[in-house]
Protein backbone atom coordinates (compact mmCIF):
# COMPACT_ATOMS: atom_id res chain seq x y z
CA UNK A 1 0.00 0.00 0.00
CA UNK A 2 2.85 2.36 0.87
CA UNK A 3 4.58 1.52 -2.40
CA UNK A 4 1.50 2.75 -4.21
CA UNK A 5 0.76 5.76 -1.98
CA UNK A 6 4.10 7.60 -2.19
CA UNK A 7 4.40 7.60 -6.02
CA UNK A 8 0.81 8.85 -6.22
CA UNK A 9 1.52 11.63 -3.71
CA UNK A 10 4.66 12.63 -5.62
CA UNK A 11 2.72 12.83 -8.87
CA UNK A 12 0.05 15.00 -7.23
CA UNK A 13 2.66 17.40 -5.81
CA UNK A 14 4.44 17.61 -9.18
CA UNK A 15 1.17 18.39 -10.98
CA UNK A 16 0.38 21.15 -8.46
CA UNK A 17 3.79 22.74 -8.85
CA UNK A 18 3.65 22.61 -12.63
CA UNK A 19 0.22 24.22 -12.70
CA UNK A 20 1.47 27.00 -10.40
CA UNK A 21 4.45 27.72 -12.62
CA UNK A 22 2.60 27.43 -15.91
CA UNK A 23 0.63 30.08 -17.77
CA UNK A 24 -2.56 31.36 -16.14
CA UNK A 25 -5.88 29.88 -17.13
CA UNK A 26 -7.80 31.92 -19.65
CA UNK A 27 -11.40 32.62 -18.72
CA UNK A 28 -13.43 33.38 -21.80
CA UNK A 29 -16.39 35.72 -21.59
CA UNK A 30 -19.14 35.76 -24.16
CA UNK A 31 -18.34 38.54 -26.61
CA UNK A 32 -20.20 39.97 -29.55
CA UNK A 33 -19.05 38.60 -32.92
CA UNK A 34 -16.45 40.31 -35.08
CA UNK A 35 -18.17 42.26 -37.84
CA UNK A 36 -15.97 41.24 -40.81
CA UNK A 37 -18.16 43.07 -43.31
CA UNK A 38 -21.31 41.22 -42.30
CA UNK A 39 -24.21 43.28 -41.05
CA UNK A 40 -25.55 42.32 -37.63
CA UNK A 41 -28.11 44.44 -35.86
CA UNK A 42 -29.46 44.10 -32.33
CA UNK A 43 -31.04 47.36 -31.17
CA UNK A 44 -32.72 45.87 -28.12
CA UNK A 45 -35.35 48.15 -26.57
CA UNK A 46 -34.37 51.01 -28.90
CA UNK A 47 -35.98 49.27 -31.87
CA UNK A 48 -35.85 51.50 -34.93
CA UNK A 49 -35.14 54.66 -32.91
CA UNK A 50 -31.41 54.38 -33.64
CA UNK A 51 -30.34 55.50 -37.12
CA UNK A 52 -27.15 53.68 -38.18
CA UNK A 53 -24.21 55.56 -39.63
CA UNK A 54 -23.61 52.82 -42.22
CA UNK A 55 -25.74 50.08 -43.71
CA UNK A 56 -22.86 47.58 -43.57
CA UNK A 57 -22.05 47.95 -39.89
CA UNK A 58 -22.79 45.85 -36.82
CA UNK A 59 -24.90 47.21 -33.98
CA UNK A 60 -25.00 45.52 -30.60
CA UNK A 61 -26.83 46.57 -27.44
CA UNK A 62 -25.03 46.19 -24.11
CA UNK A 63 -26.89 45.98 -20.80
CA UNK A 64 -25.42 47.36 -17.59
CA UNK A 65 -23.35 45.25 -15.22
CA UNK A 66 -24.68 47.39 -12.40
CA UNK A 67 -27.30 50.13 -12.29
CA UNK A 68 -28.30 51.98 -9.14
CA UNK A 69 -29.42 55.28 -7.69
CA UNK A 70 -27.36 57.68 -5.62
CA UNK A 71 -29.41 59.67 -3.13
CA UNK A 72 -27.75 62.72 -1.62
CA UNK A 73 -28.93 65.09 1.08
CA UNK A 74 -27.05 67.79 3.00
CA UNK A 75 -26.01 65.38 5.78
CA UNK A 76 -26.32 61.93 4.20
CA UNK A 77 -25.48 60.26 0.91
CA UNK A 78 -26.02 56.61 0.05
CA UNK A 79 -26.48 54.18 -2.83
CA UNK A 80 -29.84 52.53 -3.50
CA UNK A 81 -30.07 49.27 -5.44
CA UNK A 82 -33.21 47.46 -6.49
CA UNK A 83 -35.02 50.63 -7.56
CA UNK A 84 -37.37 50.42 -10.51
CA UNK A 85 -37.09 54.17 -11.18
CA UNK A 86 -35.41 57.21 -9.68
CA UNK A 87 -36.30 60.90 -9.73
CA UNK A 88 -33.43 63.05 -10.98
CA UNK A 89 -33.04 66.56 -9.64
CA UNK A 90 -33.64 67.96 -6.17
CA UNK A 91 -36.89 67.12 -4.41
CA UNK A 92 -38.65 68.68 -1.42
CA UNK A 93 -37.18 72.10 -2.14
CA UNK A 94 -37.69 75.02 0.17
CA UNK A 95 -39.53 77.77 -1.75
CA UNK A 96 -37.91 81.15 -2.10
CA UNK A 97 -38.67 83.76 0.52
CA UNK A 98 -40.25 87.07 -0.37
CA UNK A 99 -36.81 88.66 -0.21
CA UNK A 100 -35.60 86.19 -2.88
CA UNK A 101 -33.09 84.73 -0.41
CA UNK A 102 -32.54 81.03 -0.81
CA UNK A 103 -30.55 78.88 1.59
CA UNK A 104 -30.06 75.84 -0.63
CA UNK A 105 -31.94 72.53 -0.96
CA UNK A 106 -33.45 71.07 2.21
CA UNK A 107 -34.51 67.80 0.56
CA UNK A 108 -32.48 65.30 -1.45
CA UNK A 109 -31.06 64.88 -4.93
CA UNK A 110 -31.09 61.74 -7.08
CA UNK A 111 -28.45 60.55 -9.58
CA UNK A 112 -28.56 57.54 -11.91
CA UNK A 113 -25.34 55.45 -11.78
CA UNK A 114 -24.40 52.81 -14.38
CA UNK A 115 -21.47 50.44 -14.97
CA UNK A 116 -20.82 48.71 -18.32
CA UNK A 117 -18.33 46.04 -19.41
CA UNK A 118 -16.98 47.06 -22.83
CA UNK A 119 -14.86 43.91 -23.24
CA UNK A 120 -18.03 42.31 -24.60
CA UNK A 121 -17.21 44.04 -27.89
CA UNK A 122 -14.41 42.57 -30.05
CA UNK A 123 -11.03 44.23 -29.59
CA UNK A 124 -10.76 44.74 -33.37
CA UNK A 125 -13.97 46.79 -33.50
CA UNK A 126 -13.77 50.07 -35.40
CA UNK A 127 -16.35 52.16 -33.57
CA UNK A 128 -18.54 54.27 -35.84
CA UNK A 129 -20.85 55.59 -33.16
CA UNK A 130 -21.91 54.75 -29.60
CA UNK A 131 -24.84 56.00 -27.55
CA UNK A 132 -26.01 55.62 -23.97
CA UNK A 133 -29.81 55.40 -23.91
CA UNK A 134 -31.90 56.34 -20.86
CA UNK A 135 -35.68 56.06 -20.60
CA UNK A 136 -37.55 59.07 -19.22
CA UNK A 137 -41.02 58.44 -17.81
CA UNK A 138 -41.78 62.15 -17.66
CA UNK A 139 -40.31 65.53 -18.50
CA UNK A 140 -38.15 63.99 -21.22
CA UNK A 141 -37.57 67.25 -23.12
CA UNK A 142 -36.28 68.98 -20.00
CA UNK A 143 -34.03 66.02 -19.20
CA UNK A 144 -32.61 66.09 -22.73
CA UNK A 145 -31.73 69.75 -22.48
CA UNK A 146 -30.62 70.13 -18.88
CA UNK A 147 -29.17 66.79 -17.74
CA UNK A 148 -25.50 66.30 -17.02
CA UNK A 149 -23.77 63.11 -18.16
CA UNK A 150 -20.35 62.20 -16.77
CA UNK A 151 -18.19 59.10 -17.19
CA UNK A 152 -14.88 57.50 -16.29
CA UNK A 153 -13.01 54.49 -17.65
CA UNK A 154 -12.03 52.95 -14.31
CA UNK A 155 -13.00 53.42 -10.68
CA UNK A 156 -10.90 56.14 -9.09
CA UNK A 157 -10.51 58.18 -12.26
CA UNK A 158 -11.82 61.72 -12.47
CA UNK A 159 -15.24 61.97 -14.09
CA UNK A 160 -15.32 63.70 -17.49
CA UNK A 161 -18.31 65.50 -18.96
CA UNK A 162 -19.87 63.59 -21.85
CA UNK A 163 -22.90 63.58 -24.10
CA UNK A 164 -22.65 67.05 -25.58
CA UNK A 165 -24.60 65.64 -28.52
CA UNK A 166 -27.87 63.98 -27.56
CA UNK A 167 -30.94 62.80 -29.40
CA UNK A 168 -34.29 63.72 -27.83
CA UNK A 169 -37.19 61.26 -27.68
CA UNK A 170 -39.12 60.57 -30.85
CA UNK A 171 -42.62 59.20 -31.25
CA UNK A 172 -44.14 57.48 -28.24
CA UNK A 173 -40.87 56.03 -26.91
CA UNK A 174 -39.14 58.36 -24.48
CA UNK A 175 -35.58 57.05 -24.94
CA UNK A 176 -32.93 59.76 -24.81
CA UNK A 177 -29.66 58.86 -26.54
CA UNK A 178 -26.41 60.50 -25.41
CA UNK A 179 -23.40 60.31 -27.71
CA UNK A 180 -20.50 58.48 -25.98
CA UNK A 181 -18.50 57.52 -29.08
CA UNK A 182 -15.08 58.67 -27.86
CA UNK A 183 -15.15 57.02 -24.45
CA UNK A 184 -16.69 53.83 -25.88
CA UNK A 185 -13.94 53.51 -28.50
CA UNK A 186 -11.28 53.99 -25.83
CA UNK A 187 -12.98 51.53 -23.48
CA UNK A 188 -13.13 48.83 -26.17
CA UNK A 189 -9.51 49.33 -27.25
CA UNK A 190 -8.23 49.37 -23.66
CA UNK A 191 -10.45 46.41 -22.64
CA UNK A 192 -12.20 48.21 -19.80
CA UNK A 193 -14.53 46.04 -17.74
CA UNK A 194 -16.02 48.72 -15.48
CA UNK A 195 -16.84 51.96 -17.24
CA UNK A 196 -18.90 54.23 -15.01
CA UNK A 197 -21.55 56.73 -16.10
CA UNK A 198 -23.81 59.00 -14.07
CA UNK A 199 -26.70 61.24 -15.08
CA UNK A 200 -28.02 64.06 -12.90
CA UNK A 201 -30.06 67.24 -13.08
CA UNK A 202 -29.26 70.61 -11.50
CA UNK A 203 -31.33 71.64 -8.52
CA UNK A 204 -34.40 73.62 -9.47
CA UNK A 205 -37.28 75.12 -7.54
CA UNK A 206 -40.36 73.40 -8.97
CA UNK A 207 -41.64 69.92 -9.86
CA UNK A 208 -41.26 70.85 -13.52
CA UNK A 209 -37.48 70.61 -13.05
CA UNK A 210 -37.55 66.93 -12.08
CA UNK A 211 -37.54 63.84 -14.28
CA UNK A 212 -38.19 60.16 -13.50
CA UNK A 213 -35.89 57.71 -15.32
CA UNK A 214 -35.72 53.95 -15.51
CA UNK A 215 -33.34 51.98 -13.29
CA UNK A 216 -34.48 48.33 -13.32
CA UNK A 217 -37.66 49.20 -15.20
CA UNK A 218 -36.65 50.22 -18.73
CA UNK A 219 -33.04 50.05 -17.60
CA UNK A 220 -30.41 52.06 -19.50
CA UNK A 221 -28.44 50.44 -22.31
CA UNK A 222 -25.44 51.19 -24.50
CA UNK A 223 -25.54 50.68 -28.25
CA UNK A 224 -22.27 50.55 -30.19
CA UNK A 225 -22.12 50.59 -33.98
CA UNK A 226 -18.87 49.16 -35.29
CA UNK A 227 -17.19 47.58 -38.29
How does pLDDT run along the chain (227 residues), one tens digit per residue? 555 555 555 556 555 554 445 444 444 458 899 998 788 889 999 999 999 998 889 999 999 999 999 998 878 889 999 999 999 998 876 655 555 555 665 678 899 999 999 999 999 999 999 999 999 999 999 999 999 999 999 988 899 999 999 999 876 669 999 999 999 999 999 999 999 999 999 987 778 899 999 999 999 999 999 99
pLDDT of residue 91: 81
Integer Cα distance of 102 and 85 in angstroms: 29
| pTM score, whole prediction | 0.81
CA distance 128 to 56: 11
Per-residue confidence (pLDDT) for residue 212, from 0 to 100 = 96
Q: Are 67 and 197 in contact (CB under 8 A)?
A: no
Q: Which of 215, 201, 224 is nearest to 114 (CA)?
A: 215
Give the per-residue pLDDT at 19.
Answer: 47
Cβ atoms of 222 and 61 closer than 8 Å: yes
In the chain, what are the helix, strand and coil shares in percent, each to the nearest 5?
20, 35, 45
Amino acid sequence: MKAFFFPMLAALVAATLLSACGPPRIYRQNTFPVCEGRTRASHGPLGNLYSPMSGSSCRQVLTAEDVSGWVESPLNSHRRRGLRTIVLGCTNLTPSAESCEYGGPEGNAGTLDMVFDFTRYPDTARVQRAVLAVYAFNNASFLTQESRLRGRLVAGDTYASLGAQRQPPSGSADWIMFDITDIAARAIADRRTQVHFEISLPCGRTEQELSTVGVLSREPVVLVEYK
